[in-house]
Amino acid sequence: MKKIIPLLILLVFPLISAQNVFKSQKQIYLAQYYAHLKNDKKALDCYLKAIDFNSKINSYDYLSAASIAFKLDKKNTAKNLLIKSITKQQAPLDFIKEYKSLKPYQDSKEMKEVLDQYNDFENQYFRELKNPKAYMEIQNLIAKDQLIREEENTFLKLSDKVDSVNITKLKELTIKYGWEPRAWVLLWHHRDSYNENNFVWNFFKPFLQKEIEKDNVNKDFFVDFEEFDNSTSNLQAPAIYELGGIGTLSMNQTYDDIKNLDKRRKSLGLPPLYFEYFLNNNSELPEGYKYNPENLLKDLENL
């Protein structure tokens, strides 16, 4: 499948291996909950707890936290979060400039200082890399991966070969250095064989499962692969965990066994389905889905 992964997808994945990934993600869900209720103080507290657990949260969360800090007039905290979005996650300069919730603070002294020193902070990111060699090799693999997908004829001629060479090299790097989350895109191009007995998945499934158990990789890592595998043979297959994910091919807008949907989601560290509707102010829940909104905070705390 021809697919150039857009920047917004790649930014979701931390660039470096992390720890306490799920503990951190739970705090981010709580931050989003409180932010939606306009309880900015609690939202910021949760974002800061998430960062304490895992400084490799994604760029979106750093910038969202910074915007809340600005709203609370915690300018030094906002500046520190902006800096960390670069030194910890290499948030692109234009991404920071165009981030919607930061627009009101573009002319602040703190924002201007960070943007003026962007190159210095980006250099700090590179200096702090634990495995610079692995980072550069994986960046080269991703660049090659995306380059062949820019032009249809090149893609048709070279994709199988390049994907095969890339995944072989990624396996070698992973054995040597551990999993690099940004390499997800390289693994994604082997989704067609997700449930096959082959050298790709015979290595990466057990390896990543162990990383999940150690809380180095999020519990929902395989969700898009499972949704894709579920819908490849049946474009009317109901979703297992979520609708609209990158792995969803099905035209069906319903869920399999909806009564047990939230149990399945919780087993992978996902919040109740109602949480998505809550954040989007959508009261039209799927047919057959029952949820008591009064339980949402407790359910997020007990993920």
pLDDT per residue as tens digits for the range 84-114 = 999 999 999 999 999 999 999 999 999 999 9
Tell me: pLDDT of 281 over 70. yes
pLDDT of residue 206: 97
Residue linked to tokens 């609209």 = 244
pLDDT tens string 107-158 = 999 999 999 999 999 999 999 998 898 999 999 999 999 888 888 888 878 8
What is the value of pTM for the model shown?
A: 0.89
Rg (CA), the chain: 20
Amino acid at 96: I
DSSP lists the bridge partners of residue 255 as: 239
Average pLDDT for residues 258-267, to the nearest whole number?
Answer: 97
Question: Residue 8 has what pLDDT?
Answer: 44
Q: In angstroms, how far is the first alpha carbon of the chain from the final one?
A: 35
Average pLDDT over residues 240-258: 83
Judge whether residue 14 has pLDDT over 70.
no
pLDDT of residue 72: 98
pLDDT at position 303 over 50: yes
Q: How confident is the model at residue 6 (pLDDT cuts 50, 70, 90)?
A: very low
Say how far apart CA 73 and CA 64 lie, in whole Å.
14
Query: Which two three-digit tokens encode residue 291?
Result: 């949820």
pLDDT of residue 200 exceeding 60: yes
Q: Are 143 and 162 in contact (CB under 8 A)?
A: no
Q: What is the pLDDT of residue 18?
A: 54
The average confidence (pLDDT) of the chain is: 91
Distance of alpha carbon 197 from alpha carbon 182, whole angstroms: 24
Question: Does 274 have pLDDT greater than 60?
Answer: yes
* Phi, psi (deg, nearest 5) at residue 77: -65, -45
Backbone φ and ψ of 237, nearest 5°: -70, 135
Per-residue pLDDT reduced to its tens digit, 20-68 = 899 999 999 999 999 999 999 999 999 999 999 999 899 999 999 999 9
Check whether 2 has a pLDDT greater than 50: no
Closest CA to 148 of 136, 158, 134, 138: 158
Residue 3: pLDDT above 90? no
Q: How many Cβ atoms from other residues are within 10 Å of residue 289's Cβ?
A: 16
74: left (phi over 0), alpha (psi -120 to 50) or beta: beta
pLDDT of 247 > 90? The answer is: no
